[in-house]
Chains A and B, each alone.
Chain A
Amino acid sequence: NAGVTQTPKFRILKIGQSMTLQCTQDMNHNYMYWYRQDPGMGLKLIYYSVGAGITDKGEVPNGYNVSRSTTEDFPLRLELAAPSQTSVYFCASSYAVTGNNEQFFGPGTRLTVL
């Protein structure tokens, strides 16, 4: 099992550019999440999905979009990159529907917007 994989590992964007952060899990987890981690801060939830075709906003969704066409993949789209989106992005997945779920995290994508 590869677990949760994310690509790319690093990316530099110019203001106004767009990009998609890829996330794939091979654990057949229904639940997937996108977080951002700003320096000195904990992780904040951007979007989550409870299954293919179902997504919902988290705490900080502005400037992002997601889709979930398959169980395995949960890409995060930045349409018009802004310096405020400079952060480390983590994708995670979990199996259980209740709060009693260990989330498995990917290695992260470090994004810089200049």
Chain B
Amino acid sequence: AQKVTQAQTEISVVEKEDVTLDCVYETRDTTYYLFWYKQPPSGELVFLIRRNSFDEQNEISGRYSWNFQKSTSSFNFTITASQVVDSAVYFCALSEWNGGSQGNLIFGKGTKLSVKP
């Protein structure tokens, strides 16, 4: 069965520190997609990135970077030089491509990041 594990429940850092949020997934499919969403204190869910199982290239977007490693079933998210505005709950999610799931997202429990000034 598909599963997403975010082992870090809460992380607290001081501004300008780098921080990595871990995500480990389980799936039997060879075609799947991984996502990261951000949920700031206001409560809405903000899409950050989507990665398919055939593309293991790392991605960088400003201070954000993602490291996808199929060998360890991990899709980790790093924030460089963290800022107070990065304080949020971050969710990793998995979507499989098969006739039954219709692209449903399986979410991890989330990691709450607190960035102190």
Q: Is A99's CB under 8 angstroms from B4's CB?
A: no
The interface size bin for chain A is 20 to 34
- CB contact list, A92-114 vs B, under 8 A: 92, 94, 96-108
B105 nearest in chain A by CB position: A103
Q: How many residues of B contact A (CB 8 A)?
A: 27
B31 beta carbon closer than 8 Å to chain A: yes
CB-contact partner of A43 in B96, B102, B105, under 8 A: B105
Q: Is A98's CB under 8 angstroms from B97's CB?
A: yes
Q: Is B101's CB under 8 angstroms from A99's CB?
A: yes
Chain A residues whose C-beta falls within 8 Å of the C-beta of B35 in the assembled complex: 102
Give the 7 A-B residue pairs with the shortest CB-CB distance, closest first: A42-B107, A99-B95, A99-B97, A105-B45, A99-B33, A99-B103, A43-B107
